[in-house]
Chains A and B, each alone.
Chain A
Amino acid sequence: MDLRGKAAICGVGEVGPFRKAGGRTAVDMMLEAGRLAMLDAGLEPPEVDGLLVGPLLVGAPVTLASMMAEYLGLRPTYADIVDLGGATAAGMVWRAAAAIASGAARAVLCLTGEAVDPEAFYTRGVRWAGLPPPEFERPYGPMGANSGYAMIAMRHAYEFGTTDRQRAKVAVDQRQNACANPRALFYGRPITVEEVLESPLIVDPLHLLEIVMPCSGAIAFVVAAPEVARSGPHPPVYLLGFGEKVTHSLPSHALSLTTSPIVYTAKQAFERAGCTPADIDLVSVYDCYTITVIVTLEDAGFCAKGEGGLFVEEHDLTYKGDFPVNTHGGQLSYGQPGLAGGASHVIEAVYQLREEAGERQVKDCQLAFVQGNGGVMSEQVSLILGREP
């Protein structure tokens, strides 16, 4: 399927992130983000005829899409839930484009969000710890995604010699980016490699500052047909290429823990977009942990397999640098408001391609590579977004 230039992101809405939910519900925040995204797109409810909703990780009601549609004044001809963990938002972008290309809808509102207080998240037990089939995992005490990614980092160190300092560099550069993003939870709090390495070991070899912090917030965006997007107040951000692959659920069932399905999804996305990693101006990739970024850069083809650690050490990943990565701070510094964490990578690419990123604007940003990653490197969606169709 060729979706190149068939749809564009033309509106974004961002609520939070907030360190504590403070009485806000996930649904309230998602609705507000949806309202902001439609206003940003210059669209009124009758013009929005598609709705994609991300499931809630905590206390999800059923028939979420119709409930959201009713609140938002929508009567969509296309409505669905997209359930790909952290890859949900990226998965929504190409699903919306496919729906538009098929004629099922002309403007699709995509909603993600979560309300969770970090303390409650840990004391109540992590729902993610019960990834199916829990019968064969829970007796051994896995720590949700934390232990899965720790085991990736351990194996990566074994196969390629990737060091703690190299992983820490990812967190440090992204924190510098967050210091140029007032919305980021860790805005104004730069860190050093030493501080990362001195933070407590949680799951060897990962330290506290290498691990994403769950928080609250919501992100919405509108994907529309090019003629709808061009009639809005902002330059459209076109979908040029995509790739998706789901290979496993349990880390023990990954074909490899050091080579991810991104090898496939990125290749697909670049082929469909007709460009290569060398053409990319902004890399906005899922970063639930430091190691995630290193594996992603390798598998997407920005460097050779096994050289990700060296690559992040030798490049400046900040918005001022020679290889800008996660200029909003990444989820490591922005926070992870549930599935809106994955959406943060999508909307940062939109801000950058529209030249609305303010202090952290990457110069002459024409093409962005976005990666959504769910589970333990199991659900993968690559996107190439650009200014021109």
Chain B
Amino acid sequence: MTSETPSRPLPRPTAISAPFWRAAAQGKLLLQRCRRCSSFIYYPRPFCPTCLSDDLEWKEASGRGTVYTYTVVRRAATPAFADKVPYVLAIVELEEGPRMLTNIVGCPPEEVSVGMPVRATFEKYSDEVGLVFFRPDEEAGNG
């Protein structure tokens, strides 16, 4: 893990989301799973949007997924991203099903493609907050 200046807006954990951000700080991607209907849920919430059960558990995700779609942001959305352009904003479809907005890191923007296998990588900002990014999964496609 590298130490990046936390200029980007960081999440302020809530009672619902704190376990997710704390796990990310420890290098783990957690998803909620509904004990009643077995749905995986992202982003964290108080109850299952499929069956309304509030009997949810945290499961560690494999961290593997594919790029559902992406864009290269060439003009910063806010000043906090001015030194980061161009960067890849992507929706990654996790192996478990849910899709999440993230950044693809670890390769030049022109090497990103739809359908590309990716793997989670983490950036720790404090003991309570880490972010989940994705990088190309070199091991995928061989097995």
A interface residues, Cβ below 8 angstroms from B: 125-126, 129, 133, 135-144, 147, 150-152, 154-155, 158, 200-206, 250-253, 257
Contact = CB atoms under 8 A, between A and B. Distances in A.
Nearest to A129: B77
9 contacts: A125-B77, A138-B11, A141-B8, A141-B84, A147-B71, A201-B72, A203-B73, A205-B71, A206-B71
A253 B99 contact: yes
A151 B71 contact: yes
Contacts of A138: 9, 11
Interface residues of B, number: 36
B114 A154 contact: yes
Contacts of A202: 74-75
A202 B74 CA distance: 5
A154 B43 contact: no
Interface string B58-73: 0000000000111111
A253 B81 CA distance: 24
A250 B42 CA distance: 12
A151 B17 contact: no
Contacts of B73: 141, 143, 147, 203
Given A129-B77, A204-B74, A135 B69 contact: no
Contacts of A129: 77-78
Contacts, number: 100
Contacts of A143: 73, 75, 77, 89
B78 A125 contact: yes
Please list the 4 inter-chain residue pairs (A to B) with the smallest Cβ-Cβ separation, ordered nearest first: A150-B71, A155-B69, A158-B114, A204-B72
Contacts of A203: 71-75, 89
A141 B81 contact: yes
Contact of A141 (B12, B70, B87): B87
A135 B74 contact: no
B76 A141 contact: yes
Given A136-B43, A138-B9, A139-B11, A151 B89 contact: yes
Contact of B77 (A136, A144, A154, A200): A144
Given A151-B69, A151-B89, A203-B72, A139 B10 contact: yes
